[in-house]
Structures are given as structure tokens and as C-alpha cells.
Amino acid sequence: MKTIKSCILFCLVMFPLFITACGGGGNGSGTGTLSMSVTDAKPLLPGNVTNLFVEFSEIWVHKSGGGWQQLPLTETPYTIDLLQFQDGDKTELVPPAILDAGKYTQVRFFVTNAIMRMSNDETTDQIIEIPSENLKTDKNFTIDLTDGSAIDLIIHFDLSMSVVATGTGTYQMKPVLHLFEDPLQAAIISGSIDNASFGLSEKATVMVLDSNDIIYTKAEIEKSTTDDPTDFSIFWLVPNQIYTVQIDLNQDGTIDCNEYEELIPMLGEGDQYPLNSGVAVILGTDDCAP
């Protein structure tokens, strides 16, 4: 198996995320601890993907006005099946590391391999190419680590947006990350779909768009075989933003008059927003009116 080692550098090119820990003053003296956990929502991936392994070999952080410092991993290298950590679950990536107090503004991840597996069958393993450029995170950030403080940075590794088909039967990983200091910061959108509204595929695509109508994340919802309606939640939404939710029950990539769309008001930290005022979404199968 060919090994690809790629440095994923998340540059500071968009609006800031400011992370401040509880503790002493922020004068840059003393030490604090920084740890990292990784998670994903239920992603929309090609085919019957049951596992998606990402192997991390190194993680570095950069202190403003200082240099780079390597962080310890839970294991080295550390392979995580991200599909096992969904719906709010997370796993430790970096155990608590002692760092000098100060502001940290860059993170570098070294990813050695990324592999998709279909139907829990290792003979179907497909290597995901990892380019070394054109990679992004959803925000700038500043980690303000004060003396005596402790920060657990939660990394939402958004696989729905990170795994990109090349058009030649292969896939590339262009990681899109959403960063949180505390899971209670993240907003959640919850909803339900009337089972009779599902199409023949018995699956629906739920897309969340930001205020610029750019897809923030998306998820695939399977019709429940035990409950009606089918409940779902979209986790790890950055607060203080306006979103639009679109539900595509035909999975044809279009939102027509038999699909559902709702503008979500500004969500605060920790908000849980009930889609359709908490009522199950019911979509008919009648032809669209002229």
C-alpha cells in the first residue's frame, strides 16, 4: 500500500474564532494545558461506506510571536475510524499537553493515510488521496491559553465536506474542520420526517447552508424501521450564524415544491433548534402546482 504523508495546514484566511479558557490572566506567563478530541456528524458519503480511517502521525501548534511545538498523540501514529464517532460522540486525539501560556493561532496536522471501506469488507479498501494544498477550515481561530487553564479543543472533522470525488473513480480528502472549545458551545438543529414522505431509496439528504448559501455540512438520513416519524439531529453547528436547512427526499440534488426548506434564525451557543416548530416534516407526492 502506498503511503502518502501530507501536512494539512489550516491557514488564517477567514473570520476569527476566539477561544478563551478559564484561568488566570492572559499575560503570556505560566503554563496551561491543551488537549484535542475529534468527532463527526453522520456524513453523506459515496456508496455503502462503513468505515473511514484517518491516520494522524503528528500535530503541531504555533504560538503567536513564538515558534511551533509538537503535541503528543494518544498513540503514534493514531488511526481513527471517524464513522464510529457521530451524533455528538468524540474521541481523544491529543491528551492534555502542557504549553506556555499565550495565544496560539495555527495548527498543523500530518495525515499519513486515509482509507474508505465498504460493507465492513477490508478487500474493498480504497485509498483517499491527500493533496498538500487547497485545504481549509471554516474559521480562523485564536486559542488564548492562560496560566493554569485547560482547553479541550473539539475538532468536528466534517467528512461530508472533506471527501471529494475526482470524477475519475477516485477520491481526495480536503479537510473541512469546525472548531469548538466546549461541546456546549455548539448549536444543534433537530427535526423529524414523516416516514410516508421518503422516496424509494428510503433515504433523505439534509443540507445546512450558511448565510452565503454555501453548504456548511450535509448528512444522509435513513428511514427508521422502528419509529415513525424518523428523527434526526445536525450537531456541531458554529453559533451566532444564520443557516438554511434543505431536505431532499428524492436525493436528486434539487429542492423543488415537494422538498422542504427552512430559514433558521440566529443560533446562540448551545441552542437546540426544532425544525418545523417541532412537527414532523410531511411532503406529498402530488405533482407541483403550476
Q: How far apart are CA 217 and CA 158, in angstroms?
A: 7
Residue 146 sits in the same domain as residue 217 = no
- Tally Cβ neighbours within 10 Å of residue 7: 15
> Is residue 289 in a domain?
no
pLDDT of residue 113: 86
74, amino acid identity:
T
Please name the helix (run of DSSP H) or strand (run of DSSP E) that holds residue 207, with its range, or none.
strand 203-209
For residue 209, the domain's CATH number is 2.60.40.10
End-to-end CA separation in angstroms for the chain: 56
pLDDT of residue 65: 86
Contact 35, 94 (CB under 8 A): yes
Number of domains in the chain: 2
> Could you report the average pLDDT of every consecutive run of 10 residues in the chain (290 residues)?
45 36 54 90 74 89 88 93 82 94 86 86 86 53 87 84 82 80 78 87 86 82 91 84 86 63 88 91 57
> Is residue 42 in a domain?
yes
Residue 94 sits in the same domain as residue 155 = yes
Domain that holds residue 209: 187-278
**Residue 10 cell numbers, joined:** 489550516
Which residue do the cell numbers 463527526 mark?
40
Hey, CA dihedral for 211, 212, 214, 216, is it positive or negative?
negative
> Is residue 288 in a domain?
no
Contact 116, 52 (CB under 8 A): yes
DSSP characters over 215-233: EEEEEEEEPPSS-SSEEEE
Residue 164 sits in the same domain as residue 23 = yes
Does this model's pTM top 0.85? My answer is: no
**Residue 27 cell numbers, joined:** 499575560
Of 164, 185, 206, the position where a domain reaches its end is 185
Q: In terms of C-beta density within 10 A (0-12 exposed, 13-18 middle, 19 or more buried), how is residue 114 classed? A: buried
